[in-house]
Structure 1
């Protein structure tokens, strides 16, 4: 299947590692010009070079900008004024009891996980409307549907992303623009792998044993019964960005390993 992304410019926020990097690599393999984003120039350039090495002839741009603030989003927009594809992937998470989440934490999570996507979508949607073609994807989480009690502030932001994506999609009716959400389940990204490995070390067991314990106790409804790979999630994101997915709009697409016990 040809996804017809040749010549399309795609920005993946938070793409120096994890799902973001795998998505950027997948888009580059489909011929898209890819903009890599992260907070530090060194990590951004390293990720860009990894894609150039993996995909000879790939068109890759590097933009270091902290998207947790309006100034950071504006800096990115000034560097890349126009896009065909926007992947709102940047996000933060941390386990924390509800009583310990102060106002600053709530605002920090909302600014990074929600407002970055709002600010970027608001700008880039204008160009998409002018060309009557575009793709916006919010990388949410199964935590949007099953709020994790150990990080309610994170779950709140993921639910907010679904509302924004669906609302934006409603404004694109009858156009060549689509706005969708992708909901990964537990995924072996850089941050998650480090967290699980630390827990395993504390308990004196290996990663595989810790993984089995996690799914037995914390996510027993998983049908996959393992962490998804970042590539498995990226495959869905890249597809949604393609011309092949032109009839998919306003959808919340789960790549959750069957954790959410729902038919629809």
Structure 2
């Protein structure tokens, strides 16, 4: 399928691995010129090297919790590629976990700062040029947790519920300028983040990594009827579609990529 976005410019945050990197890959394959950004921890250059054979891709390091970094990220991309007319917000962390009564303010604030306020800061930079150009696509990563919260990760759940509300509000505010804003909500995807979760579970329970995945699915995610972790490229395919001209009448929507994990039909 021709996505109709050849030679568009995209910025993908949280793109050094996992779903962000796979989204960048599919956008490059669609002819998009892509900038990827993540924190300066040494992994972004490797991602750029991996993707460079597919098209024009640059890497820009920065921290979405720091306003000066956010401005610098966008300034660098504009200088090197031009104004992005696609923005994908994949930057995020699990954040503070545990019993609600044991998670302090600092844990809550750090989780919200990265997952929610990071998206706010990046969208604030993205939208003005999209409005001027009369074309824009923004996709924010939410989660199944946004509508089906789990009691041991309530800070994460709240941050992702905030993402749903933010996206809906932005879609109302700027859809009339043809800046379309949507969300994708994955569930239990094979990424470095869930690898870490499963290694911890395996160690705590004295079982293998694969056994930890199977027990987690059975005990914690019974709605995932495919009985496996999702693949990053399966999420990226949904994101790339929402970034495309093929999604020109989709605005303020939330697309679940969750193997049926969420039990409700609403939200």
TM-score, length-scaled by structure 2: 0.93
- 1:225 Cα deviation from its structure 2 partner: 1.7
Where do residues 1-264 of structure 1 align in structure 2 (5 Å cutoff)? 1-40=1-40, 42-53=42-53, 55=54, 58-81=55-78, 82-94=83-95, 95-264=97-266
In structure 2, distance between residues paired with 1:41 and 1:27:
24
Segment drifting more, 115-124 vs 238-247: 115-124
- 1:59 Cα deviation from its structure 2 partner: 0.4
Q: Spell out, residue by residue over 1:175-197, the C-alpha distance to the aligned partner (whole angstroms, 9 max, x if none).
A: 32210010001111111113213
In structure 2, distance between residues paired with 1:25 and 1:107:
32
- 1:226 Cα deviation from its structure 2 partner: 1.2
In structure 2, distance between residues paired with 1:133 and 1:106:
35
- 1:203 Cα deviation from its structure 2 partner: 3.2
Do the aligned partners of 2:223 and 2:259 also contact (CA within 8 Å) in 1? no
Unpaired runs of at least 5, structure 1? none
In structure 2, distance between residues paired with 1:164 and 1:16:
24
In structure 1, distance between residues paired with 2:109 and 2:204:
31
Do the aligned partners of 1:140 and 1:158 also contact (CA within 8 Å) in 2? yes
Do the aligned partners of 1:142 and 1:260 also contact (CA within 8 Å) in 2? yes
In structure 2, distance between residues paired with 1:240 and 1:211:
30
In structure 2, distance between residues paired with 1:247 and 1:175:
13
- 1:224 Cα deviation from its structure 2 partner: 2.0
In structure 1, distance between residues paired with 2:137 and 2:205:
44
Do the aligned partners of 2:190 and 2:232 also contact (CA within 8 Å) in 1? yes
In structure 1, distance between residues paired with 2:178 and 2:210:
44
Do the aligned partners of 2:64 and 2:122 also contact (CA within 8 Å) in 1? no
Across the two proteins, how many residue pairs are aligned to each other?
261
In structure 2, distance between residues paired with 1:72 and 1:105:
22
In structure 2, distance between residues paired with 1:214 and 1:192:
11
Q: Secondary structure at the match of 2:241?
A: helix
Q: Secondary structure at the match of 2:43?
A: helix
- 1:41 Cα deviation from its structure 2 partner: 6.2
Q: Secondary structure at the match of 1:227?
A: coil
In structure 2, distance between residues paired with 1:18 and 1:232:
11
